């Protein structure tokens, strides 16, 4: 029984809806390129970062929510006007954010376990 809740969402609308349902919680979100049937993403950095991020999840604060959000297929992501880029201001995948704060780790920063742990444990 983990001390946090993991929520898997796909796409911008689903992400926003799920977040709005959990206002008041400490929310973390990991954005990744879509996963195929083999469980691999088209985004090689996302494939590399995921086990590292998952490895630090035991450090998530009590009662927090962890969103695993698949952003879409490669062409959707490459479009500079996609909602994640335009509204959430994401610049790349993978991105790990603490929702509602300026705390974020982008691309290679997600490869560093100590940075991930720092985000999960920071006040």
Partner 1 sequence: MAALCRVRHRWKRTNCIQLLTRNLTGTFDYDLVVIGGGSGGLACSKEAAQLGQKVAVLDYVEPSVKGTKWGIGGTCVNVGCIPKKLMHQAALLGTALKDAQKYGWQIPGPISHDWSTMAEAVQNHVRSLNWGHRVQLQDKEVKYLNVKGSLLDEHTVKGSTRTGKEIMLTAKNIVIATGGRPKYPTHIPGAVEHGITSDDIFWLKESPGKTLVVGASYVALECAGFLTGIGLETTVMVRSIPLRGFDQQMAGLVTDYMEAYGTKFSWRSVPKSVDKLSSGVLQVTWTDEQTGKDQRDTFDSVLWAVGRAPETKTLGLEKVGVKLNKESGKILVAADESTSVPNIYAFGDIGEGRPELTPTAIKAGKLLARRLAGQTNELMNYDNVATTVFTPLEYGCVGLSEEEAESRHGKDSIEVYHAFYKPLEFTVAERDASQCYIKVVCKRGGDQRILGLHFTGPNAGEVTQGFAMGFQCGATLTHLKETVGIHPTCAEELTKVNVSKRSGLDATVTGC
Catalytic residue numbers read 43, 46
Of 16, 103, 107, 111, the one binding partner 1 by CB under 8 A: 103
Smallest separation, CB 71 to partner 1 (Å): 22
- DSSP conformation class of 106: E
Contact between 113 and partner 1 per CB under 8 A: no
- CB-nearer residue toward partner 1: 90 or 105: 105
Sheet-wide strand order for 104-106: 5-10, 65-70, 27-32, 95-98, 104-106
Contact between 59 and partner 1 per CB under 8 A: no
What contacts 38, CB < 8 A, 6 or more positions away? none
Measuring CA to CA, which residue among 108, 34, 98 is closest to residue 60?
Answer: 98
Q: Are 57 and 115 in contact (CB under 8 A)?
A: no
Of 64, 82, 109, 111, the one binding partner 1 by CB under 8 A: 109
User: Residue numbers of the site for partner 1 (CB under 8 A)?
Assistant: 101-105, 109, 112, 114-115, 118, 122
């Amino acid at each position: 029984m983990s001390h946090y809740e993991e929520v898997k969402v796909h796409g911008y609308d689903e992400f926003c809806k799920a977040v709005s349902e959990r206002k008041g919680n400490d929310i973390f979100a990991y954005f990744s390129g879509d996963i195929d049937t083999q469980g691999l993403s088209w985004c090689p950095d996302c494939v590399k970062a995921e086990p590292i991020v998952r490895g630090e999840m035991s450090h998530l604060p009590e009662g927090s929510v962890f969103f695993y959000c698949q952003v879409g297929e490669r062409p959707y992501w490459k479009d500079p006007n996609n909602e994640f880029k335009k509204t959430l201001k994401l610049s790349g995948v993978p991105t790990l954010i603490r929702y509602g704060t300026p705390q974020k780790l982008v691309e290679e920063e997600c490869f560093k376990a100590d940075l991930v742990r720092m985000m999960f444990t920071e006040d």
